[in-house]
């Protein structure tokens, strides 16, 4: 697969604000940047749209796509819940001459970096604290107590991997985090690889 554009990966714990940052950046630069819509087997939330937020597919279809080598990266993030980046999605955005923005799991972000090296910028979005993260997740009102505990536990593990990313942005204030992300992205896009 030939990649002409750059790949910009946002990762971090669920509730860190990475999706909010990505959405604001995409709103400002729709002609330059495109969003890589991930595929998932998790249930759709009330405010989500299939084909816009995620491609919501069955576990069986996801596993068929794994066997057919249709993913750049994929992971079983929680038991029975898969997330992945379809090759066709990145190809779609490159055909539109856009640099690709990803909002993906920490392991997926690190895997893309391993595969594509200096064509990838990895940004880890860090919550100010685990207590702030818990409050943000509770405000979503989409988590049971059990899933909340599971996400906080996973966040602890993910935060330990922040140092493997090119940049860490602490998202204490959304507007400041967006501004910092924009500056980092533009420096990366303008940098030549030759």
Of 194 and 132, which is predicted with more confidence?
132
Counting Cα atoms < 13 Å in the Cβ hemisphere of 155 gives 23
**So what's the pLDDT on residue 194?**
42
Q: Is the pLDDT of residue 145 over 50?
A: yes
pLDDT band at 192 (very low <50, low <70, confident <90, very high): low
What is the pLDDT averaged over residues 23-50? 94
Q: For 151-172, what is each residue's pLDDT tens digit? A: 787 888 899 999 999 999 999 9
Strands 99-103, 81-86: pairing is unpaired
186 contact partners, CB below 8 Å, separation of at least 6:
none
How far from 175 is each of 108, 133, 169, 189, CA to CA, in Å? 26, 17, 12, 21
Q: Is the pLDDT of residue 5 over 70?
A: yes
What are the residues facing 102 on neighbouring strands? 9
Which CATH code is given to the segment(s) 7-190?
Answer: 3.40.50.300
The phi, psi pair for 13, rounded to 5°, reads -60, 150
How far from 52 is each of 56, 188, 193, CA to CA, in Å? 10, 26, 31
pLDDT band at 142 (very low <50, low <70, confident <90, very high): low
2 contact partners, CB below 8 Å, separation of at least 6:
94
Sketch the domain layout of the chain as residue ranges: 7-190
**So what's the pLDDT on residue 24?**
96
């Amino acid at each position: 697969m030939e990649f002409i554009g750059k790949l910009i990966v946002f990762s971090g714990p669920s509730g860190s604000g990475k999706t909010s940052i990505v959405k604001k950046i995409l709103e400002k630069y729709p002609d330059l940047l495109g969003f890589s819509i991930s595929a998932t087997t998790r249930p759709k939330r009330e405010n989500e749209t299939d084909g816009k937020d995620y491609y919501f597919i069955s576990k069986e279809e996801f596993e068929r796509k794994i066997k057919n080598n249709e993913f750049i990266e994929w992971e079983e993030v929680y038991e029975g819940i898969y997330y992945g980046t379809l090759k066709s999605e990145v190809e779609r955005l490159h055909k539109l001459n856009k640099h690709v923005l990803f909002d993906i799991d920490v392991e997926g972000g690190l895997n893309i970096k391993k595969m594509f090296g200096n064509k990838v910028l990895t940004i880890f979005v860090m919550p100010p604290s685990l207590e702030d993260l818990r409050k943000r997740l509770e405000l979503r009102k989409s988590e049971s107590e059990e899933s909340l505990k599971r996400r906080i536990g996973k966040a602890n593990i993910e935060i330990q991997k922040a140092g493997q990313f090119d940049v860490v942005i602490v998202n204490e204030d959304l507007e400041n985090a967006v501004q910092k992300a924009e500056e980092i992205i533009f420096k990366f896009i303008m940098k030549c690889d030759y």
